[in-house]
Structure 1
Amino acid sequence: MIPLDDLDRALIRALAADATQSAGALGRAHGLSQPACWRRIARLRAAGVFRGQRLDLDAQALGFGVTVFLGIKLATKGRVSLEDFERAVTSIPEVQTVEHVLGMYDYRLRVVARDISDFERVLRRRIMTLPGVGNVEANVLLSEERRPGPLG
């Protein structure tokens, strides 16, 4: 962990909002020269503050109108390793995130589908056939509001 000053935090917020901004544009917006801004960004990247750059895809524009959160309780943890389950579930393209959690369920999945019928197909043919799956609880996403993270 590296010490962050207010300028580092401002650059992180700006890049989190739009990672395509150039060091020159970021520098002008925050009172830095392009080389000074680039050095700060390189220092943050080298320290592991940034894990990469990703596109923020619009699932609905791509034809995925339904998002479902699944809570999965493994039936037999002794016979099926967590790694076997994780390896199998991450190979399903509709599964966007896999979170190993503590609580009522062992895993929380974010699954996208074209519609409810498509989700039912994914659930029956892909998720329910995974090694060790026991109880499954589904919660359909009605709306989502994105909020800034801890540095926002």
Structure 2
Amino acid sequence: MMPLDDTDRAILRALARDATQSAGALGRRLGLSQPATWRRIKRLQDAGVIKARKLDLDADKLGFGVTVFLGVKLATKGRVSLEDFERAVTAIPEVQTVEHVLGLYDYRLRVVARDIADFERVLRRRIMTLPGAGDVEANVLLTEERRPGPL
């Protein structure tokens, strides 16, 4: 674990709010020079603390009005490897996240679709045909009040 000081934490909080801001603008807000800010950001990236800067798209405005969380239990754990399932499920463009979890289900998926009929198509033709797919439980997202933020 990399030791972080208050300035590092301030940089991370600021970038979590808006990852597009320049090192110069961020430095001015924090009372640092542009080169000093850039060096700190680079150090955080090199250490793997900052993994990536991502674009946050509005799925609804792009025509994906339905988000569904699926719990997937593998039917034949011995015959199908977890890697086969993971490789196949990550190839489905509507699947936004794949999480291997402990509990009732083996995997938790976040799936986007244009509408419920489109989700049903994705479920029947893509999810249920995955190698080893067994029981599936769907939970439709109604609203999302808080998105994951900085740690």
Q: Would the TM-score normalized by the shorter structure come out above 0.5?
A: yes
> What residue identity is the alignment partner of 1:15?
L
Aligned counterpart, 1:13: 13
Could you tell me how far 1:68 is from its partner in structure 2? 0.1
Distance, in Å, in 2 between the alignment partners of 1:75 and 1:41 is 45
Q: Where in structure 1 do 4 or more consecutive aligned residues deviate above 2 Å?
A: 146-151
Q: Give the C-alpha shift of residue 150 in structure 1.
A: 5.0
Instruction: Show structure 1 runs of 5+ residues with no match.
Output: none
Given residue 129 of structure 1, which amino acid in structure 2 is its aligned partner?
T
The whole-number CA distance in structure 2 between the counterparts of 1:98 and 1:148 is 16
RMSD: 1.0
CA distance in 1, matches of 2:135, 2:18: 39
CA distance in 2, matches of 1:65, 1:106: 26
Amino acid at match of 1:64: F
Deviations 1:85-125 (A, max 9, x none): 00110110000000000000000000000000000000001
Tell me the residue number matched to 2:108: 108
- What amino acid is the match of 2:119? F
**Cα distance in structure 1, aligned partners of 2:58 and 2:13:** 21
Cα distance in 2, alignment partners of residues 69 and 148 from structure 1: 16
Shift of 1:146: 2.3
Change in Cα spacing, 1:69 to 1:147, as seen in structure 2 (3 Å) is closer
In the TM superposition, 1:1-152 aligns within 5 A as: 1-147=1-147, 149-151=149-151
* Identity across the alignment (%): 83
Distance in 1, Cα, partners of 2:147 & 2:83: 32
TM-score normalised to the size of structure 1?
0.96
Distance 1:82 1:147 in 2: 28
Deviation at 1:149, TM superposition (A): 3.3
CA distance in 2, matches of 1:114, 1:149: 26
Change (3 A) 1:143 1:101: same
